[in-house]
Amino acid sequence: MFINNFDPVAIEIFSLEIRWYSLAYIVGIFVGWLVAKKIFIKNESISKKFDDYITYIIIGIILGGRIGYILFYNLEYYLGNLIDIFKIWEGGMSFHGGLIGIIIASIIFGKRNNQNPFIYMDIVALVAPIGIFFGRISNFLNSELYGVETKLPWAVKFVKVDNLFRHPSQLYEAFFEGLILFLLLLYF
């Protein structure tokens, strides 16, 4: 059995903290971008535009993820603490909101460039498991989204949560939604 007592801060330089979760976003987007350009994009004009599209995606993920978290999970708090909406360094992102943000950003990008946004969304869908993989690994490091209590030999004790041995559901999701899903998409 494993004990999870990871610090959510990966690197600290003076008072600047770089957290695992932000590194997961950076690495996931960067690796997804490279894989999309090397493997999935065959059209030269799409390839040239894809670099610009990544900027839209980053903005869509951050704004959508934050707004989604506020609306879906903690609206009452943020209605009373409006300034805290902008404190993204304190956490609070939603996968659902990020997905909606990507869709909106893709539509805006498509309209501005007179291109079909579904072409870009298809490419993002193919590399999304890369980002999901890194995101779930950071959820594990942050002791978030843990599973139910278990006595299985691979159970993990989340010290920062409740000292109970639990399923490392984040690692299951990283494996199945990240690695396995990506390999299936690559194959088909």
User: pLDDT, tens digit, for every residue of 39-71?
Assistant: 999 998 899 899 999 999 999 999 999 999 999
Average pLDDT value for the chain:
94
How far is it, in rounded angstroms, from Cα 163 to Cα 160? 7
CA max distance for the chain:
56
SS (H, E, C) 35-76: HHHHHHCCCHHHHHHHHHHHHHHHHHHHHHHHHHHHHHHCHH
| φ and ψ of 113, to 5 deg | -110, 10
Instruction: Give the residue ranges of DSSP H helices in the chain.
Output: 20-35, 44-73, 75-80, 95-112, 117-141, 169-173, 181-187
Half-sphere exposure of 57 (CA within 13 A, CB side): 22
Strands 9-13 and 16-19: antiparallel
pLDDT digits (tens, 9 = 90+) for 124-182: 999 999 999 999 999 999 999 999 999 999 999 999 999 899 999 999 999 999 999 99
Report the DSSP beta bridge partners of residue 149. Answer: 166
